Amino acid sequence: MNEQKKNAKTLLPSVTIGKNGLTENQVNEITINLKIKKLVKIKLLPSVDADPKVLSEEIAQKTKSKIVSVVGRSIVVWKR
């Protein structure tokens, strides 16, 4: 897991979540990115009202991934 955290620092966000929250299209986009890259960074815009930690758990559950880190409004997930 430490290796994933190290790699996540230089990773650019692949998916942005906006005011509509987490949609099915975004879940599909994250899933596709996980299949290709294995490590995905997600950026939450300031208009998102949801708690990033709660949202990261929802993302991990829906995409069958593992949470690497939640820092501020950035979430990093890893394909198991």
- Beta bridge mates, 70: 75
- Residue 80 clears pLDDT 80, i.e. is over it: no
Q: Is the dihedral of CA 6, 10, 14, 18 positive or negative?
A: positive
H/E element, 34: helix 24-37
Distance CA 9, CA 32 (A): 21
**pLDDT tens figures, 27-67:** 999 999 999 999 999 999 999 999 999 999 999 999 999 99
In this prediction, residue 4 carries a pLDDT of 86
The pTM score is 0.93
Task: Assign domain 2-79 to its CATH architecture.
Answer: 2-Layer Sandwich (3.30)
Exposure of 77 in the CB half-sphere (CA atoms within 13 A): 29
- Residue 17 clears pLDDT 80, i.e. is over it: yes
**Residue 35: phi, psi to the nearest 5?**
-65, -35
In this prediction, residue 2 carries a pLDDT of 81
